[in-house]
Structure 1
Amino acid sequence: MPESPATPGTVAVVVGNPKPASRTLDAATHVARELAGREPDLVVDLATLGPGVLDWADPETGRLVDLVGKAGLVVVASPTYKGTYTGLLKLFLDRFAGGTGLTGVAVPLLLGASPAHALAPELTLRPVLTEIGATVPGRALYVLDKQYDDPAAYADWLAATRPIVSSLLKQELR
């Protein structure tokens, strides 16, 4: 994915799956593309950052935090682990404390094996994104792992959420 300086119109994806190039990454990229009508400008696959995500002085991780923080739209995704998002994603999101929060629209997305955890993104990821400054429109999104590549699994959520996101992004660009 091309990396450009973050602007209000920037679309970013952040994925907290410990496995690089995961189904979670595919799902998040799909959601970003559907909401923005184009490919994301920035894709942060946290599994590829290695120990830098643990080092608060790591310049590359710091640069990515800055770019994500300034993005107009960020899809934040993780597999569901123990009814919540991964520790890897938590490590990255912790970087947004202390005035370096998210400034745009954020979409929480979790993938999981069972419908039993369908409320997990709403109850665990959404509040964190809101706390660090993001505007979180509509409901958080939960997709079953086995349906991650099925556009129908996203259709109802996209129909309800896309107009809200589009409206917020248009206001941001004014």
Structure 2
Amino acid sequence: MTVVVVGNPKPMSRTRSAAESIVQKLTGTEPEHVIDVVDLGAGLLGWGDPKVAEAKEIVKSAESLVVASPTFKATYTGLLKLFLDQFGAGELGQITTFPVMLGGSYRHALAPELSLRPVLVEIGASCPAPGLYLLDSEYESSEDLDAWLPIARRFLTAVPS
């Protein structure tokens, strides 16, 4: 089961569309769950919110995970940080995870590796493939995505031919 977590403050964003498309191209199927973190609202500001707890359980039940964020100030969004802070150290139990970020220029192309991957690893994700950075203007037909897909597929357990 593949789960997508989207940390864009805008519901139904390009970030979400890109993440869903990446899962489709990566696995040949739609993601089983998409958690648009913005939908969790004020429950992210404390501990024990039922909607946040349900989203966490969905994430922890995944076989693979795509965590996607737009690039804000050279890093992932504060909204995504609020959700990721709900997880304790190691809590993801080595779920295969792919950090993905979209941005307006290649100036921030290292953001998935330098900012998002470390926090994912801290909460227990296994990030075996390089983080993926895509220009938000060309995420649907990116040469970078085409080059990344065969690398990432090697780390999935059951990928259709």
TM-score with structure 1 setting the length = 0.85
Larger helix percent? 1
Match of 1:77 in 2: 68
Paired with 1:73 and 1:101, the residues of 2 have a C-alpha distance of: 11
The answer to whether the Cα contact below 8 Å between 1:111 and 1:142 also exists between their aligned partners in 2 is yes
Q: Using a 3 Å threshold, how does the CA distance of structure 1 residues 102 and 82 change in structure 2: closer, same or farther?
A: farther
Paired with 2:128 and 2:26, the residues of 1 have a C-alpha distance of: 12
Paired with 1:41 and 1:103, the residues of 2 have a C-alpha distance of: 19
The answer to whether the Cα contact below 8 Å between 1:79 and 1:110 also exists between their aligned partners in 2 is yes
Match of 2:86 in 1: 95
Segments of structure 1 that go 5 or more residues without pairing to the other structure are 1-9
Paired with 1:37 and 1:104, the residues of 2 have a C-alpha distance of: 19
Runs of 4+ in 1 over 4 A off after TM superposition: none
The answer to whether the Cα contact below 8 Å between 2:5 and 2:36 also exists between their aligned partners in 1 is yes
**1:91 alignment partner, SS class:** helix
Paired with 1:113 and 1:38, the residues of 2 have a C-alpha distance of: 28
User: Number of matched residues?
Assistant: 158
Match of 1:147 in 2: 138
Q: Which residue identity does 1:159 align to in structure 2?
A: P
Q: Using a 3 Å threshold, how does the CA distance of structure 1 residues 104 and 98 change in structure 2: closer, same or farther?
A: closer
RMSD: 1.5
TM-score with structure 2 setting the length = 0.92
Q: Check if 1:165 corresponds to 2:161.
A: no
